[in-house]
Amino acid sequence: MALTHNLGFPRIGARRELKHALEAYWRGDIDDEWLRATAAEIRKRHWILQREAGIDLIPVGDFALYDQMLNMTALLGAAPARFNAPEHGETGLDLYFAMARGTATQPAMEMTKWFDTNYHYIVPEFDADTTFRIDSLQLFREVAEAQALGISPKVVLIGPLTYLYLGKETKAGFSRLDLLPHLLPVYRDILAQLAFRGVVWVQIDEPVLALDLNDEWLHGLDQAYSALHEAGAKLPKLLLTTYFEAVDNHAERLKALPVSGLHIDLCRAPDQLDTFLDGYPEDKVLSLGIIDGRNVWRADLVQAFSTLNRAYSTLGQRLWVAPSCSLLHCPVDLALETRLEEEIKSWLAFSVQKLSEISTLGRGLNHGKDAIQEQLNASTRARQARQQSPRIHNPVVQDRLQRLTRSDSERANPFPVRRLLQHKRFQLPLLPTTTIGSFPQTPEIRKVRAAFKKGEASNLLYLESMRDEIRLAVKKQEEIGLDVFVHGEPERNDMVEYFGEQLWGYAFTENGWVQSYGSRCVKPPILYGDIYRPEPMTVDWIEYAQSQTTKPVKGMLTGPITMLMWSFVRDDQPRPITTLQLALAIRDEVADLEKAGIGMIQIDEPAFREGLPLKKADWNVYLKWAVEAFRVSSSGVKDDTQIHTHMCYSEFNDILPSIADMDADVITIETSRSRMELLNGFGQFKYPNEIGPGVYDIHSPRIPQTEEMLELLEKACSVIDPKQLWVNPDCGLKTRTWPEVVTALKRMVAAARLLRNRM
């Protein structure tokens, strides 16, 4: 029998039950017992659901109250000393959430993106004194819970290499890889405990194998898996699990590891199958990730089945069928979508639907094609209907893409020429002050917007409320004394959704939630067809703001890469094409803003960096099309129209040439948290255009003093020619309150003025 299994199920719940329970617990509305009971209930429901879907091996240990890496930190007793973890006794909820969310005296542990997903994990902290011991029994309790339901659990653990690799060293002069010999005995203990409890299989996730690993880490891999194996010892079988990229560069090494099986991702890297099939060891299972865990499309079952059959002829019963990665990155259940158009719905599969695709494929392998003919036919019909649907194809867009030429991605003149014209037009002082776009999204704004969406507030009421907000924002900016204004984005709930809703080719779900971090979820829109902008999306709002002031108002748009990265995108055309379509839509918006007399237009690209492929060898290809898409979106304007862009981070050192190549007249970035350190790269590179390094961290309620911002600005001036510098916060201000914003920005303006007067 070829087995079917799942690598992980979304834990937040179809109706975000876990989110609601967590937030109620944090507010103090429910106690820990209630929270634990809710979590157990969710786990139970998901296990039963997977069993009923026909999945043979059901994952246990993929659940987490906050994050799977944090679960490992708790299990391994690796809480950083700064949290004063008790010497004895289990890592309890207080410590667990303290690490995730911080305490009155300790900042939370850092959080960062899980590979190229939008999920964020809690980064383990290591120093030479870090020790490990089993410190949480939660995993074992979950194993017992599953067993009580008659489920024989396949336990999911993050592997030792990945756990160390994804952590960070908090002190210099030590390498976290040195901890491996201390970590392995604890992993062994955990495995022995699981074996003792009757666990036969452990899925041990080593996604870092998809990254560029140096020899030391690869050696660590060999060392780790020899230590976790010992002939005759009572340990569960290990399924070494990789995903998100090809690992065939390590194929021989992986085949030689003393584990009982491997899992590879055939959705991201279909070509790696042959390398693995070739001389695959007789004593190992090969699990194929054939159903895409990173996207929402119904699979092409015919093609998947033929791939599996090919593998089956070599592997026989040693073939397992799985999603490419954990379904954590997919929404839960398509059945909850009642407002999505039936046609579009018929092209989609969320987690629940994906499980049934997996089980169908397993049945086909075990009982022959006839047993699943009906499903194969249905899949083909859906695929063909999608291919031929007029919703997807827009000849106008395709035609325009064909006609794109080099000149469409070039401004008329190089920056030095544009710069003079822009300076003449805007007459800004040295070190001009501005903000990144959004102003506080007050409860009142949210209320009106929600009522409008539900049809409970009239168009006119909505229009007037938003205009009131814009007037208020303009008035505040006058009072603060900024040089370049924004309208404040009151009409936007989300920077991608706002545009997606107005573009053809995008669909939105009601419950398509995906966990981003902790209790936070996002609902990525689904980009299904050719992107077309039927009419202007922002012009009225920006024009209105401009009519209220003589100061320049920056138009505010979301860039093509960010629109792509934060959506579920088409799998039927290459991403660069989709991005260019988005770029054309934005280009038209830029043109309309310019026509309306708007002289500065900001195209936000906070997701530019996260689009970078996992392997460095693939970076250049990505950077080339990503930069081009940005340039297509921004190059259709006159020389004296100033294009701004914004990115919420500042680690650019490795991609600075591409950032410069985007050729935005002004870029604003996040630098305050690194105390301007990260600006050095721009200085050394001699970044040619203008740049606004953020002088205060908007993520924290703390308001820095004028002197502090002044100091950062002085630092910036020592690295970059002051004539190139702008003064602004790190990012948009939508999560702050007005009193905070006014005080902070007044101090920021004061700092800029102090420095200006000295020049």
Query: For ligand GLN, which is the closer residue by CB, 289 or 732?
Result: 732
Tokens representing residue 408 in the block? 């469409």
Tokens representing residue 315 in the block? 């592997």
113 is in an annotated binding site: yes
Query: For ligand GLN, which is the closer residue by CB, 38 or 645?
Result: 645
717 is in an annotated binding site: no
Query: For Zn ion, which is the closer residue by CB, 122 or 647?
Result: 647
Residue 225 CA to residue 112 CA, distance in Å, equals: 27
114 is in an annotated binding site: no
Q: Are 694 and 733 in contact (CB under 8 A)?
A: no
Phi-psi region of 228 (alpha: psi -120 to 50; beta: other; left: phi over 0): alpha
Of 141-149, 233-241, 444-452, 606-614: span binding Zn ion (CB under 5 A) = 606-614
- Least distance CB 556 / ligand GLN (angstroms): 5
Residue 734 touches which member of ligand GLN, Zn ion, none, C-beta under 5-8 Å by kind: ligand GLN
- Least distance CB 538 / ligand GLN (angstroms): 11
- Least distance CB 435 / ligand GLN (angstroms): 7
Residue 712 touches which member of Zn ion, ligand GLN, none, C-beta under 5-8 Å by kind: none
Q: Where are the beta strands (DSSP E) in 65-182?
A: 111-113, 120-122, 125-126, 153-158, 168-169
Q: Are 536 and 589 in contact (CB under 8 A)?
A: yes
**250 labelled catalytic:** no
Q: Strand 261-265 relative to strand 237-241: parallel, antiparallel, unpaired? A: parallel
The size of the interface with Zn ion (CB under 5 A), counted in residues, is 3
Of 51-59, 89-97, 337-345, 728-736: span binding Zn ion (CB under 5 A) = 728-736
Residue 565 touches which member of Zn ion, ligand GLN, none, C-beta under 5-8 Å by kind: none
CA 412 to chain CA centroid, Å, is: 35
Residue 332 CA to residue 16 CA, distance in Å, equals: 10
> Whose structure tokens read 């309890």?
92
The per-residue DSSP string of 605-648 comes to: -TTTGGGS-SSGGGHHHHHHHHHHHHHHHHTTS-TTSEEEEE-S
Query: For ligand GLN, which is the closer residue by CB, 95 or 648?
Result: 648
Q: Are 318 and 308 in contact (CB under 8 A)?
A: no
Query: For ligand GLN, which is the closer residue by CB, 58 or 669?
Result: 669
670 is in an annotated binding site: yes
The β-bridge partners of 204 are 157, 240
- Least distance CB 434 / Zn ion (angstroms): 13
Query: For ligand GLN, which is the closer residue by CB, 397 or 666?
Result: 666
* 667 touches Zn ion (CB under 5 A): no
Residue type, 594: E
Query: For ligand GLN, which is the closer residue by CB, 236 or 732?
Result: 732
Q: Strand 600-604 relative to strand 514-517: parallel, antiparallel, unpaired? A: unpaired
Residue 756 CA to residue 759 CA, distance in Å, equals: 5
Q: Strand 520-522 relative to strand 514-517: parallel, antiparallel, unpaired? A: antiparallel
> Which position's Cβ is nearest ligand GLN?
732
> Whose structure tokens read 């490419």?
324
222 is in an annotated binding site: no
Phi, psi of 369 (to 5 degrees): -60, -35
118 is in an annotated binding site: yes
Residue 495 touches which member of Zn ion, ligand GLN, none, C-beta under 5-8 Å by kind: ligand GLN
DSSP 554: E
Query: Scanning residues 11 to 30, which ones bind Zn ion (CB under 5 A)?
Result: none
Query: For ligand GLN, which is the closer residue by CB, 61 or 732?
Result: 732
* 349 touches Zn ion (CB under 5 A): no
Site string for Zn ion, 559-598 (x = CB under 5 A): ----------------------------------------
Q: Strand 237-241 relative to strand 125-126: parallel, antiparallel, unpaired? A: unpaired
* 731 touches Zn ion (CB under 5 A): yes
Phi, psi of 285 (to 5 degrees): -80, 145
CA distances (Å), origin 630, targets 345, 645, 647: 31, 10, 13
- Least distance CB 423 / ligand GLN (angstroms): 24
* 648 touches Zn ion (CB under 5 A): yes
Q: Is the dihedral of CA 718, 722, 725, 728 positive or negative?
A: positive
- Least distance CB 414 / ligand GLN (angstroms): 27
Q: Are 725 and 717 in contact (CB under 8 A)?
A: yes
Residues that bind ligand GLN (CB under 6 A): 436-438, 489, 495, 556, 604, 606, 646, 648, 731-732, 734
Give the residue ranges of DSSP H helices in 481-601: 497-500, 539-547, 560-565, 575-595
Query: For Zn ion, which is the closer residue by CB, 526 or 648?
Result: 648
Give the residue ranges of DSSP H helices in 197-250: 215-227
605 is in an annotated binding site: no
Buried b (16+ CB within 10 A) or exposed e, 527-550: bbbbbbbeebbbbebbbbbbebee
CA distances (Å), origin 128, targets 107, 188, 219, 421, 583: 21, 21, 20, 57, 49
Phi, psi of 592 (to 5 degrees): -70, -35
CA distances (Å), origin 253, targets 258, 276, 315, 614, 757: 10, 11, 19, 20, 64
- Least distance CB 600 / ligand GLN (angstroms): 13
Residue 543 touches which member of Zn ion, ligand GLN, none, C-beta under 5-8 Å by kind: none
Residue type, 498: Y
Question: Which of 20, 229, 250, 699 is flagged as catalytic?
Answer: 699
437 is in an annotated binding site: yes
Query: For ligand GLN, which is the closer residue by CB, 62 or 483?
Result: 483
Query: For Zn ion, which is the closer residue by CB, 512 or 732?
Result: 732
Q: Is 323 exposed, middle or buried (0-12, 13-18, 19+ CB in 10 A)?
A: buried
Tokens representing residue 588 in the block? 């038209």
Q: Are 635 and 645 in contact (CB under 8 A)?
A: no
521 is in an annotated binding site: yes
145 is in an annotated binding site: no
Residue 293 touches which member of ligand GLN, Zn ion, none, C-beta under 5-8 Å by kind: none
* 254 touches Zn ion (CB under 5 A): no
672 is in an annotated binding site: no
Residue 422 touches which member of Zn ion, ligand GLN, none, C-beta under 5-8 Å by kind: none
330 is in an annotated binding site: no
- SS3 for 555? strand
CA 18 to chain CA centroid, Å, is: 20
- Least distance CB 555 / Zn ion (angstroms): 17
- Least distance CB 143 / Zn ion (angstroms): 42
489 is in an annotated binding site: yes
| Max Cα–Cα distance, the chain, nearest Å | 83
Residue type, 55: I
714 is in an annotated binding site: no
- Least distance CB 668 / Zn ion (angstroms): 8
Residue 474 touches which member of Zn ion, ligand GLN, none, C-beta under 5-8 Å by kind: none
419 is in an annotated binding site: no
- Least distance CB 604 / ligand GLN (angstroms): 5
- Give catalytic residue positions: 699
Q: Which residues are annotated as a binding site for 5-methyltetrahydropteroyltri-L-glutamate?
A: 16-19, 113, 118, 520-521, 566, 610
Q: Which residues are annotated as a binding site?
A: 16-19, 113, 118, 436-438, 489, 520-521, 566, 604, 610, 646, 648, 661, 670, 731
Q: Which residues are annotated as a binding site for L-methionine?
A: 436-438, 489, 604
Q: Which residues are annotated as a binding site for Zn(2+)?
A: 646, 648, 661, 670, 731
Which parts of this chain interact with Zn ion (CB under 5 A)?
606, 648, 731
Q: Which residues are annotated as a binding site for L-homocysteine?
A: 436-438, 489, 604
